[in-house]
Amino acid sequence: MTRLYGDDADLYDIAFDWEIGDEVDWLVERLAAASVLEPGCGSGRMLEALANRGTEVVGLDWSPQMVAIARRRLGNAGEVVEGDMTDFDLRRTFHGGVCPINTLLHLTPDDLALHLQCMARHLQPYSRYLVQVGLLDPEEREPSPGSHWEASRGETTLRVHWVDEELDLVNGLSRQRSSIEVLTGPRAGEVVEEVHEMTAWIPATWAAAIEASPFEQVAMYDGGRKGQWPQVAPDATGCLLWHELVLR
């Protein structure tokens, strides 16, 4: 586990706490679910937004620090469980599932297969699982310029960089570097920098992974066009694609 998801989970919570209200409204409409499971829930911002719309929510994360933040955020509005998203048993089923912002890229293809099996055991028949997974152009050979932004909460202001350092589509690997510079606040002057080994998916490899799973992909949407989320072709590429999976 990297520092960003462990000891520095408080910085993650600030860095990734942008407004998601419109997106969650869209997700609620697509899921049409009374209860939702979010694996890899992190600090719980998606859980909180779903709970505020009357959805019963349960989150799962393997970081004790993330779980603690998510529990504080939710209070009595939902449940957060510490566990491995490739091997868990909550002893119940849900009407839907959601997994945003490329969380599944942290899983190897074998881990993804295990995760989808776990999700299938926790969803009711024909439930939807909406996952946000970027797909790369198979002709792409150079890393993307990445994302750069600032975020603030209280006295703390952060400058965040998340960039691809190395891309190997032949082996389906992406090496990414995150850098969080604390500009103001109690930790001003600190820089948290880490490398993340991620899976790089192209449309063909992603389609094959879903075909081998208990799910069927019924639609894909462009999550990069905020306020619109138009449906796109199965061979579309982009870093913020939403995949609508339905349990067979």
CA 98 to chain centroid: 8
Q: Give the single-character DSSP code of 146.
A: -
Residues 100 and 169 in one domain: no
* Alpha carbons 59 and 79: distance in angstroms, whole number: 6
Residue 61: inside a domain: yes
The model carries a pTM of 0.96
Q: Give the single-character DSSP code of 65.
A: H
Residue 215 β-bridge partners: 247
Residues 171 and 67 in one domain: no
pLDDT of residue 2: 84
For the chain, strand residue ranges (E) read: 35-39, 56-61, 79-82, 94-99, 123-132, 147-153, 156-168, 173-184, 191-199, 215-222, 231-232, 241-247
Residue 71: inside a domain: yes
pLDDT of residue 227: 78
* Alpha carbons 46 and 205: distance in angstroms, whole number: 28
Q: Which of 159, 177, 199 is the last residue of a domain?
A: 199
Residues 124 and 174 in one domain: no
Give the structural domain span for 111. 3-136+202-247
pLDDT of residue 224: 84
Residues 180 and 236 in one domain: no
* Alpha carbons 213 and 131: distance in angstroms, whole number: 14
Q: What is the pLDDT along the chain (248 residues), one digit of tens a residue?
A: 688 999 999 999 999 998 999 999 999 999 999 999 999 999 999 999 999 999 999 999 999 999 999 999 999 999 999 999 999 999 999 999 999 999 999 999 999 999 999 999 999 999 999 999 999 999 877 777 789 999 999 999 999 999 999 999 999 999 999 999 999 999 999 999 999 999 999 999 999 999 999 999 999 999 988 778 999 999 999 999 999 999 99
pLDDT of residue 206: 98
pLDDT of residue 144: 76
Q: How many domains does the chain have?
A: 2
Residues 177 and 230 in one domain: no
Residues 160 and 122 in one domain: no
- Joined tokens for residue 70: 């998510």
* CATH number of the domain to which 95 belongs: 3.40.50.150
